[in-house]
Chain A
Amino acid sequence: EAAVTQSPRNKVAVTGGKVTLSCNQTNNHNNMYWYRQDTGHGLRLIHYSYGAGSTEKGDIPDGYKASRPSQENFSLILELATPSQTSVYFCASGANAEQFFGPGTRLTVL
């Protein structure tokens, strides 16, 4: 059974709208991460978390917020979505130098 799940798997949003991407893990890992994947850029780290209540900025945090209300859940929030945020977003949980990735969310901002 999948240990890192993401919802929704696909999302179409309008420019200026609010988007929330959700991630749930059953690995009981303290660390969680949000990345985006774009052609020509590989995967880039947006936000990460050390545990419930913790959120930290990654390499490209502008335009994104994160929320970690519990050990299991880590959300990525786009308060005012822009077309440049069209991408595939991956969540991961990690421990002992290993990260386990979810299946990804394909977000299109029109």
Chain B
Amino acid sequence: AQSVTQPDARVTVSEGASLQLRCKYSSSVTPYLFWYVQYPRQGLQLLLKYYSGDPVVQGVNGFEAEFSKSNSSFHLRKASVHWSDSAVYFCAVTDNYAQGLTFGLGTRVSVFP
């Protein structure tokens, strides 16, 4: 069975500051890893995904994530946040993407001017 832990339920940052969201996963094999973003009253949108190769993956809107097999982690980063980055961010994992994803509980990010 797979699981995902996002230890921070809420994060507050100032506009222009850097952001890191943590994600730890548990899987018996190297899984597919994802970060999704959910804006208010909308569905989820994919930010980036990882399966193999360079452990640092680039996503949309300046986001990137770094995979660490030794730490079972897939942390999300952004160098300089904008107020429009305020949203809920979900980390997800699967070892068979045809069979659906297992999501973390999400981290709510609030960006203040």
- Interface on A for B, CB 8 Å cutoff? 4, 31, 33, 35, 40-45, 48, 50, 56, 58-59, 90, 92, 94, 97-104
Residue B70, interface by CB 8 Å: no
Interface of B is mostly: mixed
Q: Point out the residues of chain A lying under 8 angstroms from B61, CB to CB.
A: none
CA distance A35 to B92 in the complex (A): 13
Number of A-B contacts (CB under 8 A): 56
Listed from nearest, the 8 A-B pairs whose CB atoms lie closest are A101-B43, A45-B100, A97-B97, A43-B103, A42-B103, A42-B105, A101-B44, A48-B100
**Chain B residues, Cβ within 8 Å of A45:** 100-102
Residues of B participating in the A interface, judged by any CB pair closer than 8 Å? 32, 36, 41-46, 49, 51, 90, 97-106
Q: Is the interface of A mostly helix, strand, loop or mixed?
A: strand
B100 to chain A, nearest CB (A): 4
Q: Which residue of B lies closest to A56 (CB)?
A: B99
